[in-house]
Structure 1
């Protein structure tokens, strides 16, 4: 078994493959120890502006949690460059912003007037634990449709931007003000505080439809933070609002961190109707304090199921000044508003690693009732079943640097998302390798590599004869999409014409977009060696595979023959060495080459297991399949496409930008609602 695995890997290495991106790590202890750096990232030749994309260390692969959605993160920190991005469940990027918005928080998908949008905050976060900036909404072509500021001349804060069922926006705001602080200092005195505010905005006009200020309803003595100098230059952060949500009764559920409480606000008067936790807790705790005691909590939401009412949130168990535990966790609290009781229904935490986040964090109830936690101050996220089974976990930074602030992402979430970028795929040739990608495209499954004898980049008119040549099956090579950036090594036997481009195809074989043209030059089949004189020359359109010119292919065939002999000899030598190793080396030592660190759920310790799932063996097959498609040239997919429409119908010219104009319905995950 090990011998066959090594043989497969050897063949993959020798022959090359349509593989791209940096492969993710799987429970890699060296990654977690920081051997590869504080923030392991990857770059792409076809899209060098896509930067700071992390190489993920999957402690438990997210392929175990495949529900068709993507991972939405916005890494930043003392090491990570602030970039909103979407990853697939293998850790490969789908989209990474190439624009700069300052520091970015809270990348998510939200519905507005029936259409899905990417939304996030961008701005300056170096303002005492909050920020001043704007909210951005991008459509399914990544065009900016809305840029939203706070109302009444205030600065929009980073913590909250929630689009309601009424198509209004809820935002958080921090503002300085002078307040009476005698209840804290014991004598009459005024001091500067950061007031916590939320507004409900009209997205189209920016008008503030409702505004609530904590200072008008909550005395400063209810705060758990110690007072500082309370000067204008250094105000006292008394409340610290970090989430707001509107319910069907038009009231608001808010989380205020330094009150250690979740409050329910009357949507008409602004009065506090009740609060869960804190000094003015309204509930009888049926769980010995577990339901009403939290520290530094974030991201509070309603969750209703089977007639029961819950409040969910991320319980940091710590803040900048205090620590309650050695591990942050998600909480689901069952509340009964008739009896005013609260009970801890479930707590979710990583059983393999103690992750304590002193700030930030997220709790998301997914449509399948799984729970997704984002660890905020630490670059990590984890998914659990509804009853708390630990299913998946991903680290964006070494676990050995947790707590450093090197890599942070305020909320880490999952959503369905369908997008057709406004720009086109990009094709780049470097040496003998073609690199191609399409930043933001979600529906690409396969790439069609097409060749032409003429450079048509400067014209849009095509003759019928030229169109038919472009659609000829023998001129098309299918390359399965492999990660963000797919690679294709051009070999002499490929027979590609001089000018090539790639067409992005969806799962139905429909064209989504076409790349720029690239000149293969001497790598194409239309270059030949002259018998005398200047060596290589371009022979033009008249020479095809079926009509060789004297002296044309003999030079090429000799090169191919020599290459095949060298590859064959190399394969024979390598297999001989591997066979000797297999017969002489102790099996246990050889087996270690194909093992990795993974978590043993039975013993809750790090144990060595064979990598049967989510590892190297499983990933070899698509690599080999991609190789085979290169040599076949007329593979099944191409023949079907040619026969049924893609390469034959005049009304679907694959070189046109014929992306679907109507996106159709896109599922939106809104915390289980």
Structure 2
């Protein structure tokens, strides 16, 4: 755990010659311990070269040499000006590598589900950008190349309004298509669950989109296939919650209405199975469905009311996320286990042996947190290339890495939970992933020349998203042609400070790779 007194200083750790320059800033309204109405923001980095970027400081609570060592991909949301919301890549030490901040700190410009995928034979970044309200999104899916330039934007098509893509899951297939979901309110008879005949239900729609053309190749609707009576989101409980909200807020929408429909299914993952069928997780039915890719028929249902499988000891899951087939044929998912943030039972990662001949499901491995941890919403389970398992705990702002058989290797906190009750802003991330990634931004490094804390002239340099920089070389002179090398320092964190030997009309910093080749050159802005 970090020293909180140290974190509360205005600037910490600003040292020279390539060490950490990102100061840990905590904006305090007053000195002393914050009360409930004046909590402290989560400690975050601050950079001379990029004052617009304030990524959170993470707390690596447990680590092991067996951990994968790749880059971690998060989309933290702090509900505050600092730290920054948005897409975040961290290195194995928890240092920021790339941050794409959300344009506004509200629900109309959120970023979700940042990950590495493959498109047209090349690694790409994908993420959702748009609004997120009441557990569903309306927006687009962006695809970026390794220079962080947008090469495609995918959203809903056909009869659905463009810009209605949901944030829960976006999978690029080998055929150059994207599987995505959408939430669509439709008028519906709700009498069989105790609602009105002229009510509204939230339909969950799956579309497969040709990325290059935007053509809809496949569409599936939950309301056409799954009855309302399978929902574990009790209609009367939902109606009571809406009534209580309306008593507290005159602007709260009625229920069930077009603005606030009955969300009976709540799709949150859509993946391809080994045979080309689709595996779909529905949080509000506590079930995973296998869908025929051509007809849309449900081949089987795992879990929930009236499961097609006999569920073995400990195999029952609830409010789950991120169901998919593992390379060994097992099925992995994140068992949220609760819809209540104050619940007693911990969330867990889960690996199941699903025997489609015997129609049985048995627990192979549980991935348990080091202490009770209720990720009551969001979260994911990702099997890594080396067989390890990464768990993102969703509403509990942590991620953990395990061996394949469930031994905890790494546990990292990235939100208010790291620091205690005096801190606010949460810092939840919908999912957490680990991938290999090489990024070389199309823009040059950012360079600023100013005095350091001791009044010594210093050159500060950073390059948001660059993964291949091993060293920085400072060159100065009367002009570019006459500039000579002044110093070479290692890159050790997002921003590096280099002592300035003397004033010079021309100052530049070159980014060097591991072989000493120049990747790019940055100069101070005019």
TM range (shorter): 0.7 to 0.9
Counterparts of 1:94-173 in structure 2 under 5 Å? 94-98=97-101, 100=103, 102-126=109-133, 128-152=134-158, 153-154=160-161, 155-173=164-182
Does the 8 Å CA contact 1:377/1:405 hold for their aligned counterparts? no
Which of 270, 284, 287 aligns to 2:296? It is 270
Q: Which residue of 2 aligns with 1:50?
A: 53
Q: Which residue of 2 aligns with 1:283?
A: 309
Q: Which residue of 1 aligns with 2:471?
A: 446
Q: Which residue of 2 aligns with 1:180?
A: 189
Which of 273, 276, 280 aligns to 1:247? It is 273
CA deviation vs aligned residue, 1:110-161 (integer Å, no higher than 9, x gap): 10110111100011102x2101111111111111111111112331111111
Does the 8 Å CA contact 1:21/1:44 hold for their aligned counterparts? yes
- Give 1:20 shift: 1.8
- Give 1:196 shift: 0.8
Q: Does 1:204 align with 2:212?
A: yes
Counterparts of 1:271-420 in structure 2 under 5 Å? 271-287=297-313, 290-291=314-315, 293-305=316-328, 309-320=329-340, 323=343, 325-351=344-370, 353-399=371-417, 400=420, 406-420=426-440
Does the 8 Å CA contact 1:500/1:518 hold for their aligned counterparts? no
CA distance in 2 between partners of 1:414 and 1:203 (Å): 24
Cα 1:248–1:295, aligned 2, differ >3 Å: closer, same or farther? closer
TM, length-normalised to structure 1: 0.66
SS of residue matched to 1:507 = coil
Does the 8 Å CA contact 1:38/1:401 hold for their aligned counterparts? no
CA distance in 2 between partners of 1:104 and 1:116 (Å): 20
CA distance in 2 between partners of 1:388 and 1:505 (Å): 40
- Give 1:272 shift: 0.9
Does the 8 Å CA contact 2:53/2:99 hold for their aligned counterparts? yes
Cα 1:23–1:366, aligned 2, differ >3 Å: closer, same or farther? farther
- Give 1:295 shift: 1.6
Which of 472, 491, 495 aligns to 1:485? It is 495
Does the 8 Å CA contact 2:171/2:179 hold for their aligned counterparts? yes
CA deviation vs aligned residue, 1:187-208 (integer Å, no higher than 9, x gap): x834210011111111111111
- Give 1:402 shift: 12
Cα 1:22–1:405, aligned 2, differ >3 Å: closer, same or farther? closer
Cα 1:277–1:405, aligned 2, differ >3 Å: closer, same or farther? farther
Which of 452, 459, 475 aligns to 1:434? It is 459
SS of residue matched to 2:50 = coil
- Give 1:39 shift: 1.6
CA deviation vs aligned residue, 1:612-653 (integer Å, no higher than 9, x gap): xxxxxxxxxxxxxxxxxxxxxxxxxxxxxxxxxxxxxxxxxx
Cα 1:276–1:91, aligned 2, differ >3 Å: closer, same or farther? same
Does the 8 Å CA contact 2:513/2:519 hold for their aligned counterparts? yes
SS of residue matched to 2:394 = coil
Cα 1:321–1:259, aligned 2, differ >3 Å: closer, same or farther? farther
Q: Which residue of 1 aligns with 2:257?
A: 231
CA distance in 1 between partners of 2:57 and 2:197 (Å): 53
CA distance in 2 between partners of 1:362 and 1:374 (Å): 5
Cα 1:447–1:496, aligned 2, differ >3 Å: closer, same or farther? farther
CA deviation vs aligned residue, 1:435-488 (integer Å, no higher than 9, x gap): 11111111000111112123x4xxxxx5xxx4xx64xxxx34211112000012
CA distance in 2 between partners of 1:276 and 1:420 (Å): 43
- Give 1:165 shift: 2.1
Does the 8 Å CA contact 2:98/2:465 hold for their aligned counterparts? yes
CA distance in 2 between partners of 1:90 and 1:398 (Å): 19
Does the 8 Å CA contact 2:382/2:390 hold for their aligned counterparts? yes
Which consecutive unaligned segments of at least 5 residues does structure 2 have? 1-12, 25-32, 240-254, 452-456
- Give 1:513 shift: 0.4
- Give 1:498 shift: 5.0
Does the 8 Å CA contact 1:22/1:55 hold for their aligned counterparts? no
Which has the higher Rg, Structure 1 or Structure 2? Answer: 1
Q: Which residue of 2 aligns with 1:67?
A: 68
Q: Which residue of 2 aligns with 1:578?
A: none
Cα 1:298–1:401, aligned 2, differ >3 Å: closer, same or farther? farther
> If each structure's helix is expressed as a fraction of its own residues, which one has the higher value?
1
Does the 8 Å CA contact 2:288/2:303 hold for their aligned counterparts? yes
Counterparts of 1:471-482 in structure 2 under 5 Å? 475-482=485-492
- Give 1:50 shift: 1.8
CA distance in 2 between partners of 1:39 and 1:65 (Å): 29
TM, length-normalised to structure 2: 0.84
CA deviation vs aligned residue, 1:64-122 (integer Å, no higher than 9, x gap): 35535201011014335421011111121111115638111000011011011110001
CA deviation vs aligned residue, 1:174-198 (integer Å, no higher than 9, x gap): 0011223232229x83421001111
SS of residue matched to 1:59 = strand
Does the 8 Å CA contact 1:253/1:263 hold for their aligned counterparts? yes
> If each structure's strand is expressed as a fraction of its own residues, which one has the higher value?
2
Which consecutive unaligned segments of at least 5 residues does structure 1 have? 1-12, 25-30, 457-461, 520-673
- Give 1:366 shift: 0.2
Cα 1:238–1:477, aligned 2, differ >3 Å: closer, same or farther? same
